[in-house]
Structure 1
Amino acid sequence: MFLLLASTAAAALQPAEAPAPVTTPAAPALSPISAGAAANQAGEIVVTARRRVENVQDVPIAVSVVSGLALEQTGSYNINRLQQLQPTLQFFSTNPRNSSINIRGLGAPLGLTNDGIEQGVGIYIDQVYYNRVAASTLDFVDVEQVEVLRGPQGTLYGKNTVAGAINITTRAPSFEPEARAEVSIGNYNFKQGKASVSGPLSDTLAARISVAATDRAGTIRNVVTSQRVNSQDNLGLRGTLLWKPTERLNIFLAGDYNVQDPVCCAQIYVRYGPTQRAANRQYPALVAAYNAANPTRPYRVPSTDAFDRLTDLDAPLAARNEHGGASLRAEWDVGGGTVTSVSAYRYWDWDPSNDRDFTGLAVNPKVNNPTDQKQYTQEFRYAISSKRFDLVAGAFGFHQTIRTRGIQTYGRDASLWLLAPSSALSRNPAVLDGLQADNDIRLNNTSAAVFGKLTWRVTDRLSIAPGIRVNYDKKRGQYDSVVTGTASNGVRQRVTFASTDPWIVAQRGVQAPQFFRANFSDWNLSYDLNLSYKVADDVLAYATYARSFKSGGVNLNGVPNDAAGVPQTQVATVDPEKVDHFELGLKTQFWDRRATLNLTGYWTDVHDYQAIVNDGSTSVLRGYLANAKKARTRGVEADFSVRPNERVNAYLNGAYTDATYEDFKNAPCPPELSGGTIAGAGQTPGAAGVPGALSPAVCDISGQWLPGVSKWSLSYGAEVNLPTSFLTGEGGQFYLGWDGSYRTKFSSNASRSIYTDIAGYSVNNLRAGFRNADGLNVYGWVRNIFDKDYYEVLATTPGNTGLIAGQPADPRTYGVTLAARF
């Protein structure tokens, strides 16, 4: 059962270079670009995954590498685009705050943002850990390369992560003057500019300043406001100083500022999927009742085909996402090794505005959660190498404060939409109009760890590498939701559980007040053991076992109340995930290193998997976390690239991922099995999707897919070039490149639903242009060349009305890019 063949490895893309991780020693400076990482002078792709510079083919870790040049050439200017080059990387985002990154199906529950939990995939930029996944939606700024490490990380550096890490390295200041510039224009008024300049300020001091800006109109038209929504409006600035007082000491001081301020984010009408709620409380009947009550302003969704890309949201949309910070990194060669210190401060400000009823009716015109975060990190490492031993040992400290001041309001149409039609109150707009919840959510999060990794080269071919990490986590959280509404006498007052006023009773059934504090603290021990054997000069086999933990946390989205309105604080904290991970890998090169084939197989058991649960006790779909007893992901991955000559290269990366809930007997039910009266003892729940049928209290979803994971996924591409003396005499090329990705069906709901499976799809991109050895590159590009219609996310909406909303992916886009190096 544990016979796993294969997956992962090194690259999917090669240096200034081409669609494939090629390490051919003779790789020319002008080799095509598409899927590779930066190579050193010997043509090797080098990484720092083990905190030293190594040829990626010598690293017994499942790691893929994408160079900055490959990111630029393929238009992969953020992590959302990067996933099309990395089959085991999944990225989902309905707005920057509500985003998740998974590797091999693990990372964070799809569709839930909860301040009190950790991410399972670590994001590092220049060795600085970024705690909030919202940073992943920002544009890359002056990136040298991106390493995607798969499987548990934490015995080498930084924060403990159970799924993997994305390690981004930006270009360092240069003591030789240099500059880069790039301008792109395209349809949907796409405009993008990038520039960087670097050079010496003195014999020992160099600087680099970089900027990237992207602007694009939205792909969805709001018929109410005549705006194009889901637009892009991004700006990134980065500056770095390198002080090199001696050959043995490098000190980097870096600062960055990043802001997104688009008209965003809209999820639009996709379909009606019947639930077990009473028929008169589901979407078709509610619209009919609304139209009967409002004959002068009847409601009709602008289109029942989401790919008409129309919406009628009547609330302002905004998604201002601001990140910034500073870091100080020192690298000092001393005592035969290198001491590294990384000190960093980061902040995150999130200021949204959205419409959470997903319609043009005034039901939930505001469900906004502005958030301020500050984080401080400090890391010390000592790395030393000898003929037989390599050692990395270090300590990591992290402190974070989060303050969210949320607001949720209800409009004039909420009474009809959310109250039982049998109640006369449902026909009185004043009952819920103006109902408001003001939420104050706070978290203090502290983590500290010591870690170490030893590599013992027993022979020139056999290495044994044990690692260990001792980790302490402490979280203190507070959730305070104050609800105010209008009583039947017209007086504005707080909504409480003590009140018997019929209007207040109805209001707290829709939006209940709540206050609680919760604390979590825990120690854990992570460890791993890696064995690697050089079967031949260009063949490396390895095996890994890792025991890892994902920190427990605090539910800060609210928890269920009991009948008396008392918060059920027994579910206010979540246990840590405990991970057992097994992996076998093979890294090979052949045909005089023109071809690379890397294979990895893995099996990961997760006990106390942190899963999303929905509280069906209110009309508002409230998500919180609980522990499923066990989940599992296993799979096989393969990365292949080939460069038969300087004119042609290609790559094909594939992954088979089998990610399931192994034991989750008390899971939330999908929409088609919810919304009705809960079946009592001796009663049998009704059929799925039958209005008025009895609903099960919980569902056993053991054996179901984890959300967001396709069984099969591929990325592929090729590039050919033709030498020319056009414009430059010698050293020019015309080139044509193709890159594509494919994934099979996946679930877009925590409990798999017949309404929210997203069909498999492929996306193909084309580019063609001219470049020369002096750094000039002019090319045209088309993304989604066949204009494939597909969804990035499908989601249920509040109230079990059967309304399914979704986020259509980008249609065909095209444009032209001019890039130059000086």
Structure 2
Amino acid sequence: MTKFSAMLLATTALLCAAPAFAQDAAPAPESGYGGDIVVTAERREGTLQKTPISVTAMDATALKDLQINRTADLQRFTPSLNVAQGTVDPTTLTVFMRGAGQNAGTWVGYESAVGLYIDDLYFASLTGANLDLADLERIEVLRGPQGTLYGRNTLTGAIKYVTKKPGDKPFGDFEAEYGSYDMKRLKGTVSTPLSDNWSVLVSGNYYERDGYFNAPALGKDDYGFAKEYGARAALKYIGAGPFGLSASAFYSRAKNDGSIGLATNATTLAPAASNPYTYLSPVDGYGDAETYGGDLTLSYDIGGATLKSITGVIHTTEAFLADTSAGRPTNTVDGPYALGFDRLESEAARTEITQELQILGDTMDDKLHYIGGVYYFREKGHQGRTDYLLGLYDLLPQMVSMKTESYAAYGQLTYDFTPSLSVVAGLRYTHEEKSVLGRQQNNLTTVLANRTYGAIDATRTAKAWTPKFGINWQATDDVLVYASVSRGFQAGGFNYLALANPTNYENGFDPQTVWAYELGVKTQFLNRKARLNLALYRNDFSDIQTNVVIAGSALTQNAGTARVQGVEGEFSYTPLKGFTLFATGAYGDDKYIKIDPASSAATSGAQHLPNVPHWQGAAGFSGRFPSSHGDLLMGADYSYQGGKYLSGNNAPITYMPSYELVNAHVGWAPPGIDNLEARFSVSNLLKERYYVYGNVLGAYGLRSPGEPRTWKISLSYSY
């Protein structure tokens, strides 16, 4: 495929839409691709088109139509969002948005610049965050700093998973799938009232799939096995009165063969095999991530205002074994095969506790809307790792424990000068302290007697004021214009991936901040059958954190000041009930303004920030066409991801070339049976070969390919 295919698809979409102007007026989109989806981006309910923030919202219908099964799939349709699986564990996320993110989420102590939330519960760990999506009502992706209203580390945005809630009426959803590589997926949710005052919900999911890699050194042609399962239970008070209560508990576990790639020459970029789905290492890797926790939200209406208490706890454990450069042939490409750079094994655990007290309400004849609160976060964790480098250096086991405490107070006011004009002012104060204690081998040596430990004992503190100012103008019922200035903050930390160098480990990196400027417009037209949302933004970063590799150590450095700016757009059009055309797009421009001459980005002559492609885009359609023989379901989508570097020093092997994907589905809903559907879906229809990850350690490199073409058959029912 080429860029010509994008132009062809866009032209086809316009031609398909043209005759619809002569049709009877369709109702405004109610769900799926925008329209009047209810979102909680401002910590209170509001419709998407009336919310003055850049938000991509997808409900359960859109998630199914677009084949978004995991968090990493969101980047295909969300402007300025870049998501990929982690380096050594496919359940770990690498998330970047509008110029900032984190590549090393596998390690305790590292946190994302894009906050992850399950309802109102902050999810600090990137491990376990790329699991199979189940039991969701919708996903909201908030772009721009969200530090005033949300918790920690929303430097450039947040991803919010909104789960289904128990209600006063019974409902259920069930889905079964079978597909390529013996894939099996089961999902189910049941909710029912227990009485006039209480309702309960229970859900569960199971996923299993063989791998699509050939592993000659292991004698396997289906390497890359993955299995995931989980459950969730929720309880809600549905009775009358000022009191409110909702609680939930969840569990998930994922087992797999670890992240897998193809050994690639770091200098010439020549792959060690012609087929990208080839794993040459003799190391039989594994990954095992377990996550469980719960939350409790209490509320009380005091008349004109609501008091809330939000309490949560999450525990995550992870163990993995990986060859970090995917092995290498020792003589010829036909083997035998040996370890690459590093045989890396690790086990870790972390527990987070959060507590938030909040008040929100309206006063002054409903002209002043306010929200304020205090927030506390505490996390403790530990991690052990062993490394066997180059078949020579058998390092002493590294053991560390970490602790993070964060306190914050926040408030935001929105004042309506007129029914159509309002101003926003918000402020958050954050104080954080991080500490680490442990030991690590001092140097590289093959002599057993010379292997000695060095102590790791360090503390870092940080504090920040993060204000927000905005103005919102509801020009007409169908046009909202907004402008905002806000500051984002993310604390520094320690270099958990420093190799045999306790000093580098302790030195760590400083906080990063951003001043963000945004001008946006949200519109509805053609009798509200269509919507077009546009946003112009500019992010000015100070002490921007970048991930680099130096002498085998993967470090985070502060590279200096940088600017990222761009434009984003989202469009949907429903000419006929049940038929929607949609498109999204983003252009981003990145530039170092003043680079730290001591940083790896400067010494390597880097010109680009990590994970900022110039172009991203998607387009497609989804339709439901009724007939006497049942409803025909049909949809297709195209997505384009521009080329980007993954590392701060712009190492050539970390450049991921652009790629294009086409997905499609067709289905049938039989007559006489409400809410029963059968579908046949295909991902990567045109068998695009592309890479999603690349890294270099010393003279050894690897690249990990994206998924090949896959198909699945699904059967779903709801009531």
1:806 aligned partner? 703
Q: Which residue of 2 aligns with 1:600?
A: 535
2:488 aligned with 1:495, yes or no?
A: no
The residue aligned with 1:345 is 313
Structure 2 match to 1:218: 211
In the TM superposition, what are the counterparts of 1:502-513 in structure 2 within 5 Å?
A: 513=453
Amino acid at match of 2:532: L
Is residue 253–residue 328 contact of structure 1 (8 Å, CA) maintained in 2? yes
Are 1:438 and 1:481, in contact at CA under 8 Å, matched by a contact in 2?
yes
Secondary structure of the structure 2 residue equivalent to 1:81 = helix
Mark the structure with the bigger radius of gyration: 1
Matches within 5 A, 1:769-784: 769-771=667-669, 774-784=674-684
CA offsets per residue over residues 796-816 of structure 1, 9 Å max, x none?
Answer: 1x32x2x33111101100111
Select which of 77, 83, 90 maps to 1:91. Answer: 83
8 Å CA contact 1:118, 1:551 repeated in 2: no
TM-aligned CA deviation for residue 441 of structure 1? 1.5
CA-CA distance at 1:164 after TM superposition = 0.3
In structure 1, give the amino acid aligned to 2:116.
Answer: I
Question: Of residues 380, 389, 400 in structure 1, which corresponds to 2:379?
Answer: 400
Percent identity over the alignment is 27
Distance 1:146 1:487 in 2: 51
User: Aligned runs of 1:626-641 on 2, under 5 Å?
Assistant: 626-641=557-572
Question: For 1:225 and 1:26, how far apart are their aligned partners in 2?
Answer: 57
Deviation at 1:385, TM superposition (A): 2.1
* Paired position in structure 1 for 2:581: 650
- Return the match for 2:302 from 334, 347, 353: 334
Q: How does 1:144-163 map to 2 (within 5 A)?
A: 144-163=137-156
1:117-128 alignment, distance < 5 Å: 117-128=110-121
Match of 1:785 in 2: 685
Quickly say closer, same or farther: Cα 1:437–1:96, change in 2 above 3 A: farther
Instruction: Summarize the Cα distance change of 1:406–1:257 in structure 2 as closer, same or farther, 3 Å threshold.
Output: same
Q: CA deviation at 1:722?
A: 2.2
1:567 paired with 2:503, answer yes
User: What CA distance in whole angstroms lies between the structure 1 residues aligned with 2:373 and 2:82?
Assistant: 30
Aligned mates of 1:176, 1:668 — CA distance in 2: 59
Determine if contact 1:271/1:304 at 8 Å carries over to the other structure. no
Work out whether residues 559 and 624 of structure 1, in 8 Å CA contact, stay in contact via their aligned partners in 2.
no
Q: Is the 8 A contact 1:368 1:407 kept in 2?
A: yes
1:576 shift after superposition: 1.3
Instruction: Call closer, same or farther: CA 1:485–1:58 in 2, change over 3 Å.
Output: closer
Structure 1 residue 306: deviation in Å? Answer: 3.9
Unaligned runs of 5+ in 2: 1-24, 328-336
Letter in 2 for 1:105: G
Q: Aligned match of 1:312 in 277, 280, 283?
A: 280
Distance 1:304 1:483 in 2: 36
Q: Find the aligned partners of 1:363 and 1:232 in 2 and give their Cα distance.
A: 23
CA distance in 1, matches of 2:595, 2:225: 39
Deviation per CA, 1:375-415: give whole Å up to 9, x if none.
Answer: 100011111024201101111110000100111125xx724
1:818 paired with 2:715, answer yes
CA deviations on 1:130-184 (whole Å, 9 max, x unpaired) are 0011232112221001110000002113224111001111000122222211001
1:117·1:552 contact (CA, 8 Å) conserved in 2? no
In structure 2, how many angstroms separate the alpha carbons of the residues matched to 1:408 and 1:605? Answer: 38
Aligned to 1:26: 27
Tell me the residue number matched to 2:331.
none
Structure 1 match to 2:33? 36
Please give the root-mean-square deviation of Cα atoms over the aligned residues, in Å.
2.4
Residue number in structure 2 paired with 1:580: 515
Q: Which amino acid aligns with 1:138?
A: L
Match of 1:660 among 579, 583, 591: 591
- What is aligned with 2:98? 104
**d(CA) in 1 for partners of 2:553 and 2:235?**
46
Q: Deviations over 1:295-349 (max 9, x none)?
A: xxxxxx9x52243x12222112111111110111113222212222111111000
Please name the residue that 2:60 is paired with: 68
Q: Which residue of 2 aligns with 1:536?
A: 476
User: Do structure 1's residue 714 and structure 2's residue 612 form an aligned pair?
Assistant: no
Amino acid of the structure 1 residue aligned with 2:226: Q
Indicate how the Cα distance of structure 1 residues 65 and 396 shifts in structure 2: closer, same or farther if over 3 A, else same. same
The separation in 2 between residues aligned to 1:628 and 1:185, in whole angstroms, is 47
> Mean alpha-carbon deviation: is it higher for 733-742 or for 398-407?
733-742
The letter of the residue matching 2:248 is: A
Residue matched to 1:80: 72
Equivalent pair of 2:108/2:350 in contact (CA under 8 Å): no
Report the AA paired with residue 821 of structure 1.
Answer: S
Matched, 1:448 2:407: yes
Query: If the length of structure 2 is used for normalisation, what is the TM-score?
Result: 0.90
- Aligned match of 2:192: 199
Q: Which shifted more, 254-263 or 645-654? A: 645-654
- Three-state SS of the structure 2 residue aligned to 1:83 is helix
The answer for the alignment partner of 2:11 in structure 1 is none
Equivalents in 1 of 2:622, 2:598: separation in Å?
47
Q: 1:398 to 1:112 in 2, by over 3 A?
A: closer
CA 623–361 in structure 1, closer or farther in 2 if over 3 Å, else same: same
Structure 1 SS opposite 2:260: coil
Partner of 1:501: none
Task: Give the alignment partner of residue 379 of structure 1, picking from 349, 352, 356.
Answer: 356
Partner of 1:248: 242
> Are 1:737 and 2:635 counterparts?
yes
Partner AA of 1:722 in structure 2: F
CA distance in 2, matches of 1:720, 1:667: 55
SS of the aligned residue for 1:458 comes to strand
CA contact (8 A) 1:614 1:668 kept: no
Q: What amino acid is aligned across from residue 304 of structure 1 in structure 2?
A: A
Structure 2 equivalent of residue 421 of structure 1: none
1:356-435 equivalences in 2 (<5 Å): 356-359=324-327, 360-362=337-339, 366-386=343-363, 387-410=366-389, 414-415=391-392, 432=393, 435=394
Q: Does 1:751 align with 2:719?
A: no
Shift of 1:777: 1.2
What's the CA shift for 1:273? 1.6
Residue-by-residue CA offset, 1:244-270 (whole Å, 9 max, x unaligned): 343432211210001110122212123
Larger RCO, structure (CA 8 Å, separation 6 or more): 1
For residues 275-298 of structure 1, the C-alpha deviation after alignment (integer angstroms, 9 at most, x for no partner) is: 9xxxxxxx9xxxxxxxxxxxxxxx
Q: CA deviation at 1:350?
A: 0.4
Give the distance between the partners of 2:239 and 2:577, measured in 1 at CA: 41
Q: 1:441 to 1:306 in 2, by over 3 A?
A: farther
Residues 755, 357 of structure 1: CA spacing in aligned structure 2 closer, same or farther, 3 A cutoff?
closer
Contact kept? 2:403, 2:434, Cα under 8 Å: yes
Find the partner of 2:233 among 230, 239, 251. 239
Per-residue CA deviations over 1:86-105 (Å, capped at 9, x if unaligned) read: 13211122324763211122
In 1: Cα distance, 2:499 partner to 2:214 partner:
36
CA contact (8 A) 1:742 1:763 kept: yes
- The alpha-carbon deviation at position 112 of structure 1 amounts to 6.8
Task: Tell me which protein shows more strand as a share of its residues.
Answer: 2
Matched letter for residue 335 of structure 1: G
- Residue 115 of structure 1 deviates from its aligned partner by 3.2
Q: Which moves more between the two structures, 657-666 or 595-604?
A: 657-666
For the residue of structure 2 that corresponds to 1:57, the secondary structure is helix
TM-score scaled by length of structure 1? 0.79
